[in-house]
Amino acid sequence: MGQFSTTERDGHLFVITINRPEVMNALHPPANAELSDVFDEFENDPDLWVAIVTGAGERAFSAGNDLKYQASGGDRSAQPSSGFAGLTARYDLVKPVIAAVNGVAMGGGFEIALACDLIIASENATFALPEVRVGLAALAGGVHRLPRTIGPKRALGMILTGRHVPAQEGYELGFVNEVVPTGEALAGARRWAEQILAVSPMSVRASKQAVYKGLEEGGVAGAEAVRYPAVIAMTKSEDFIEGPKAFAEKRPPQWKGR
111 is catalytic: yes
Of 111, 172, 216, 249, the catalytic one is 111
In contact, 117 and 149? CB cutoff 8 Å:
no
Helix, strand or coil, per DSSP, at residue 100 = strand
Of 43, 123, 131, 178, the catalytic one is 131
How confident is the model over 43-57, as pLDDT tens digits?
Answer: 999 999 999 999 999
In contact, 253 and 198? CB cutoff 8 Å:
no
Q: CB burial class (10 A; 0-12, 13-18, 19+) of residue 99?
A: buried
Return the domain boundaries, the chain: 5-197, 201-248
Nearest to 122 by CA among 26, 191, 189: 189
Q: pTM of the predicted model, to two decimals?
A: 0.93
How confident is the model over 20-71, as pLDDT tens digits?
Answer: 999 999 999 999 999 999 999 999 999 999 999 999 998 999 999 997 887 7
For residue 189, how many C-alpha atoms fall within 13 Å in the half-sphere facing its CB?
A: 32
How far apart, in whole angstroms, are the C-alpha atoms of residue 47 and residue 70?
37
CATH of domain 5-197: 3.90.226.10
**Residue 18 in this model has a pLDDT that exceeds 70:** yes
CB atoms within 10 A of CB 19: 19
CA pseudo-torsion sign 107, 97, 84, 68: positive
**Residue 74 in this model has a pLDDT that exceeds 70:** no
